[in-house]
Amino acid sequence: MEDVRLWRDKREREMYDNFADLYAIVKTTDKLEKAYVRDLVSSAEYEAECLKLIAQFRTLHSALHGAVPSLDRFAEVYRLDAPAALNRLLVSGVPATVEHRAAASSSSSASAAAVAECVQNFITAMDSVKLNMVAVDQVHPLLSDLSTSLAKLGTGLLPPDFEGRVKVRDWLSRLAKMGAADELTEQQARQFHFDLESSYNAFMAALPNADS
């Protein structure tokens, strides 16, 4: 019996492989959301896994932008019933634990939306390095968005000398001295990612617990 191929060439095969990966990410996210709601995973385990899935989804969705312009349509075509995952990946963009902590911080002058925006911008900026998007005209807009979102929080949640603000300003200053087509060296990119990651961890630590 002859195998039926879905693809005609290597490019089509890669596309269908990506479709399969996207399907798996959505299904896994849906199962994770249900497990969290049913208290089958700890908040820490849920948050770490959810952040990883969101990052993987953004990377893959960006690569498939032309082939999958609408995830809702993709879910419909492939009979993917996963509303919780679609909400987490498309609408929220951050783990439920982050939403809860953001809501808890809203009484101290920081809105949940602003906190969620910061988380999204941190993740996007860190992802850019992993994808080797290290040209100045690629990095600068992402860093500028992060700086703007951090500024929206004011000093109610983060101290004026919060290390994330300081490091973002330092990197923006460095990039301003470079040409648009210039690229970060491997060493600079590594340091850039390290600074972003440490700032992100400090930011998450500054958020109050939802039950505090």
pLDDT in tens, 71-107: 788 888 888 899 999 989 888 888 888 877 766 665 5
Largest CA distance in the chain: 69
* Lowest mean pLDDT across 10-24, 62-76, 98-112: 98-112
pLDDT for the residue numbered 40: 94
User: Tokens 């820490």 — which residue?
Assistant: 44
Give the integer Cα–Cα distance in Å for 135 and 193: 14
Amino acid letter, residue 147: S
Give the integer Cα–Cα distance in Å for 60 and 16: 12
Give the integer Cα–Cα distance in Å for 16 and 132: 24
- DSSP three-state, residue 135: strand
Give the chain's mean pLDDT: 83
Which pair of tokens denotes residue 116?
């969620």
Which pair of tokens denotes residue 19?
């479709």
pLDDT in tens, 107-163: 544 466 778 788 888 988 888 888 888 999 999 999 999 999 888 876 667 777 888
pTM, 2 dp: 0.64
The answer on pLDDT for 5 being more than 80 is no
Q: Which long-range CB contacts under 8 A does 71-80 form with residues at least 24 apart?
A: 71/26, 74/19, 74/22, 75/26, 78/19, 78/23, 80/23, 80/26, 80/27
pLDDT for the residue numbered 69: 67
The answer to whether residues 26 and 85 touch, using CB atoms and an 8 Å cutoff, is yes
